[in-house]
Amino acid sequence: MTPRKSYVVPLAGRGSLVLGERTLVMGIINVTPDSFADGGLRFDADRAVADGLQMIADGADILDVGGESTRPGADPLPEDEELRRVLPVIERLAREAQIPISVDTYKATVARQALDRGAAMVNDISGLAYEPALADAVAASGAGLVLMHNRGTSRDMYREASYQDVAGEILLELETAMARAAARGIRREQIIVDPGLGFAKQADHSWTVLAELDRLAALDRPILIGPSRKSFLKAAIGDRPAAEREWATAAATAAGILGGAHIVRVHGVREMVDVARAADRVRARHAWMRPY
């Protein structure tokens, strides 16, 4: 376990995120009919907003709203349908919530309109590889930007899951994504990196990333992880449906925090807030924090 550096990440119209003093919990709101994790429970906008407000009551620090399923094998969603799904939810949450709202999209138009309606961050699963113009919307707004490691598309990502040194290759490919961002005018301090657990990675790759997460500290940017209910957890607990992977999610979340994650992106906010606070207590009592 290594020290976790502190950062201040600017947000669009919502101040900034202070990262490092404690782990922040990002609650996932999938406004989709085919979410692998919740079966489409929040496809209705009213339900999505109500659940988002409940996540805040349960301790969420950020809400991440997405309208397109990016699970392996998923088909792309037309832009107009993604806008129809996410904009009403983002607009209402931005008005009613006192925490930052993130939009989970790789599309430039969706990001731009979401930011115009109150989103403060953009979470891009492609690391600016799918639509480089997304960077222009982020640069213009000053929003925080999560650059996630990925290869290929949702349809074919597992064909790209070949690594000699998975953590080292992720580090290099995230450096490339950061260079793409800088070339389009995004400031370094706006960037958060995500190793993309489960994306273009076999189960063993994701477990190795968690075990070697501290290597990403070389990027000198805050780290977000998203292990919540993902299929790689089945390698440890057996073939269980997503709803029965919460205990495994808790273990992976704790491991990620001890490895240096600044933000954890989860479905079960109330439970993972407890995990984060306990893991933070372990970090606080580690040898480098104690006087001699």
Q: Phi then psi for 154, rounded to 5 degrees?
A: -60, -30
CA distance 292 to 7: 27
Q: What's the token pair of residue 166?
A: 């998975």
Stretches where the chain sits below pLDDT 70 are 14, 34-43, 72-73, 287-292
Q: Is it true that domain 10-279 has CATH number 3.20.20.20?
A: yes
Instruction: Please write the tens of the pLDDT for every residue from 128-173.
Output: 999 999 999 999 999 999 999 999 877 777 788 899 999 999 999 9
Active site residue 265: yes
Q: What pLDDT shows up at residue 292?
A: 38
Q: Which of 84, 230, 283, 285 is catalytic?
A: 230
Per-residue confidence (pLDDT) for residue 197, from 0 to 100: 97
Q: pLDDT at position 288, please?
A: 54
Please give the backbone phi and psi of residue 28, each rounded to the nearest 5 degrees, phi first. -90, 125
Number of H helices, E strands in the chain: 9, 10
Of 42, 85, 215, 265, which one is the catalytic site residue? 265
Mapped onto helix, strand or coil, the DSSP state of residue 223 is strand
When computed from its CA atoms, the radius of gyration of the chain, rounded to whole angstroms, is: 17
**Is 85 a residue of the active site?**
no
CB 184 within 8 A of CB 135: yes
Which phi-psi region, left, alpha or beta, contains residue 260 (left: φ > 0; alpha: ψ -120 to 50)? left
